[in-house]
Amino acid sequence: MKEIQDLTQKTGFIALVGRPNVGKSTLLNHILGEKIAAVSRKPQTTRTSITGILTRGSRQYVFLDTPGVHKPKTKLGDMMMKSVGTATTDVALVLLVVEPLAQIHPIERELMEKFGKMHLPVVLLINKTDIFTPADIIRTIEVFSKEFKFEAVIPLSGKTGDGVEIIFDEAEPFLEEAEWFFPSDMITDQPERTIAGEIIREKLLKLLDQEIPHGIAVVIEDFKESDKRIDIRAEIFCEKAGHKKIVIGKDGAMLKKVGSFAREDLEAFFGVHVNINLWVKVKENWRDNDYLLHSFGFDREDS
C-alpha cells in the first residue's frame, strides 16, 4: 500500500458481490487476517451480509461480504438475495468478484446492469489467479471491460494474497471524510456467538456430502465466557431424520470431528480454551418456514 500522509479520518463501505463460490469470503478473511466468515467449496456458503472492518492509519475500510447471487428457490434464498440488495444500497464502492473464466455469466450481466442504473462505482476483482493461466486472465479482463466501465480491474488471489493490496489503492478515492463508524481495533460487528455458529456450520459444509449442508442451520443456544475458557452449546438443525443420522455419524464420529475442527478454529480466534457441545435436531423444510427462519435469526434487519 502507498504510504498515506493525509491524517484526516476517512471511511467508506465497500461491498463484495458476486456469484456463489467465487471466493468473496476467502478474500474478506485474508484482508482481515482473521477468519470471521465461513468458507467452503460448496456454493451458497454465506447466508447473511457480514461486516469486516479494517482500520489502517487514518483510513477505516468497512467491507461487506454478501451471499453469492443466485436465483433463489427457498424463502431462505429470498432473504439471502434481499441482504445483497441491502448491502449494496448505500456503499462507496462495489467490488465485483469473478473467476477468470473468460465469459460473463447471466447473473454477472444482471449485476452490472443494476450497478450501472444505480451509478455505483465498481472495481472488478478477478480472483483465483493462482489456478488460472495469464491468457485466461487477460481474456476475462477483455470480456468484462467491454460490458462495463469499471473504475479498475484487479487480478488477484484471495488464497495466496497476490494482488490484494491493490484494492486499498483503488478504494482510496472513494473514501469520504467522516468520523469512523467503529473503534479502530474492531474487526467485525458480528457477535461472537454468531461467529461461533458460522465456524461450526463451515465444518459441517466441509465434512458433509452435497445435498445435506444447504439444509443445515446452526443455532448457538448458550455461550458462556470466563477468563480461561468459553463453553458453547450449539444446536444443529437439519431437514430430515436421515440427515440427522449422517450428521451424528457412526457412534457420533461425524459430530466429534465437526466439534474438534470447530474448536481448533475458535480457540485460535478467541485465544482461550473452547468447549463445544453439539446437539442435532430435525426441522423439516425450515428454509421455507417464516417462523423458523425468524427463530434462527434470518430476518434481522441486516440479513
Ligand X SMILES: Nc1nc2c(ncn2[C@@H]2O[C@H](COP(=O)(O)OP(=O)(O)OP(=O)(O)O)[C@@H](O)[C@H]2O)c(=O)[nH]1
Residue of 136, 212, 172 lying closest to 3 (CA atoms): 172
For ligand X, which is the closer residue by CB, 11 or 66? 66
Work out how close the CB of 18 gets to Mg ion at its nearest, in angstroms, rounded to a whole number.
Answer: 9
83 binds ligand X (CB under 6 A): no
Which one-letter amino acid corresponds to residue 118? M
Q: Which stretch binds ligand X (CB under 6 A): 33-41, 54-62, 81-89, 107-115?
A: 33-41
40 binds ligand X (CB under 6 A): yes
Taking a C-beta distance cutoff of 8 angstroms, is the pair 123, 167 a contact? yes
Question: Is the alpha carbon torsion for 20, 21, 24, 29 positive or negative?
Answer: positive
21 near ligand X, judged by CB under 6 A: yes
88 binds ligand X (CB under 6 A): no
Task: Mark the segment that binds Mg ion (CB under 5 A) among 22-30, 218-226, 262-270, 276-284.
Answer: 22-30
Q: Which of residues 118-137 bind ligand X (CB under 6 A)?
A: 127-128, 130-131
Supply the minimum distance, in Å, between the C-beta of residue 45 and Mg ion.
5
Residue 43 engages ligand X in binding (rule: CB under 6 A): yes
Give the E-state strand segments of 3-147 in sequence order: 10-18, 50-56, 59-65, 93-98, 122-126
Kindly state whether residue 49 participates in binding Mg ion, applying the rule CB under 5 A: no
SS3 13: strand
Dist. CA 89–CA 81, nearest whole Å: 13
The answer to whether the CB of 303 falls within 8 A of the CB of 49 is yes
**C-alpha cell of residue 237:** 438443525
Residue count, binding to Mg ion (CB under 5 A): 4
List contacts with ligand X (CB under 6 A).
Answer: 20-26, 39-41, 43-46, 67-68, 127-128, 130-131, 157-159
